[in-house]
Amino acid sequence: MYRLEGRHAIVTGAARGIGRAIAERLIAEGCTVSLWDVDGDEVALAANEIAGSAGKVHFAEVDVSDRQAVASALAATRTAWNAGPDILVNNAGIGQVASILDSEPKDFDRTIAVNIGGTYNCCYEVAPLMRDAGGGLIINIASWFGKSGRPMSMAYCASKFAIIGMTQSMALDLSSHGIRVNAVCPGTITDTQMREQADAAGALKGVPPAQEREHLIPLGRLGKPRDIANVVAFLISDEADYMTGQSVNVTGGLWMN
């Protein structure tokens, strides 16, 4: 356990999958957590299901690509807590299985708006509060696709490369204010909505599902959302207080750079 009692965390894209696993882990560590998600019904259900104790869990329906919606959700969260966030986990994201030859501009634009724009919007609203409070922690969920271009993933790769660059730049800009910024780069993670959608879309284009590529992973299994949550909890903890600007692979050895 990392002794995170008394800290206040916002986790975006928290209704299911990796985001929900992160929220559950931070609650178990003693954090008060606000779950944000574009799906209001699902995030309300998740918050009710994982509430560790009274007052520990808050939730908000918010499209992170909409800066005003982010500002409104942040205001509601601060009111519910009577405190500002110490921790921001930018997990909300979408993807598409498409190359430049068969992509649709509207789908590319939406991926960029959510993955890059959403991360920017949340940091834009939260970082000044952390600065004024004397410190904080920002974790951006990137991907191993942000370190190596992959086929049929142009928009997703572009967005995740950008998030790694944003992480490094913000780490430099915010370090003097006591704010650490790191990224986590998941590999092939199962039990998520994005994985299901990617496998379904890939099947239409002859791409084998993740399960059929499991043998390529040195540790011999697909990742689970809890694998990402465990690393996020470490990076937030004081055990990682000399780490900033890093993009940590959690890929089972699939990617080592």
Question: How far is Cα of residue 82 from the mean position of the Cα atoms in its chain?
Answer: 24
The C-alpha angle 78, 227, 41, rounded to 5 degrees, equals: 45
Q: How far apart are CA 196 and CA 210, in angstroms?
A: 9
What is the separation, in whole angstroms, between the first and last Cα of the chain? 28
Instruction: Mark whether 2 is an active-site residue.
Output: no
| Catalytic residue (one of 2, 120, 156, 242) | 156
Enzyme catalytic residues:
156
